[in-house]
Amino acid sequence: MWRYNLVKDMEDRSKQLYVDQRIVILKDAYPKAERHFLVLPKRNIPSLESIEMCDLELLKHMHRQGKFIANLYGQGRTFRMGYHVEPSMDRLHLHVISDDMNSPSLKKERHWNKFTTPLFVDSHKVIEDLENGGVVQLPSNREIEMFLNAPLKCHKYDIFTRTTDSYLIIFCW
C-alpha cells in the first residue's frame, strides 16, 4: 500500500541523502516546493499524536539535521520545517521545505492548505509543546476540516490568492 512507501524508501540507499543511528533524510518524491526533504526517525513513530516526552531528544536531532540538509542543498533559499497534523504517509516525518511553494506536484488546493495553515505544525512548536507540557497541541477534527477547505491564502503575505484551472498556481506577490 502506498501509505508505507516512505518506510520502504528509507531502506533504499539510492534515495538516502543522509543516514545516522536515529534518522534517514530523503528528497520528497512529490515535492511541493523547489527543495523539499523529509527527515524520518528509524524508530516507528506513526504521527504527531504518538510522540511522547521520551521522543524530545530525537525531535531536536531531527530539527538540527533538517537545518543541516537545508543549508547543504538549499542554495540560499529560506526553509520552513514542520509536521503535518494528518500525514498521508505512514511514519512521522519532518518536512524541510523551501518557502517558494513552486512545484508541478502542488496540484490540489488541499496540498497548499496542508503547508500554509495550522495543519503544518512548526518543528519549534512541537518541541516547545513537549518541553512545556509533554503533549503537542493539535487542531480538533472540526478545525482540520475547516483548514483543509479554507480559501487559499498566501503563506508570506496577508492576502488571498488565485489559482488557474490547469494545475495549482498560487499568485502570491
Query: Which one is catalytic: 93, 111, 124, 155?
Result: 93
**Domain count within the chain:** 1
Per the domain annotation, does 154 fall within a domain? Answer: no
Which pLDDT belongs to residue 151?
85
CATH number for the domain that contains residue 109: 3.30.428.10
Per the domain annotation, does 28 fall within a domain? Answer: yes
Domain that holds residue 106: 2-148
Per the domain annotation, does 125 fall within a domain? Answer: yes
* Residue 61 annotated as catalytic: no
Per the domain annotation, does 169 fall within a domain? Answer: no
> pTM value?
0.89
pLDDT tens for the chain, residues 1 to 173: 667 788 888 899 999 999 999 999 999 999 999 999 999 999 999 999 999 999 999 999 999 999 999 999 999 999 999 999 998 888 999 999 999 988 988 888 888 999 999 999 999 999 999 999 888 999 999 999 999 998 887 777 766 555 554 444 555 54
| Exposure string over 95-117, b if 16+ CB within 10 A, otherwise e | bbbbbebebeebeebebbbbbbb
Per the domain annotation, does 171 fall within a domain? Answer: no
Per the domain annotation, does 94 fall within a domain? Answer: yes
Which pLDDT belongs to residue 40?
98
Per the domain annotation, does 79 fall within a domain? Answer: yes
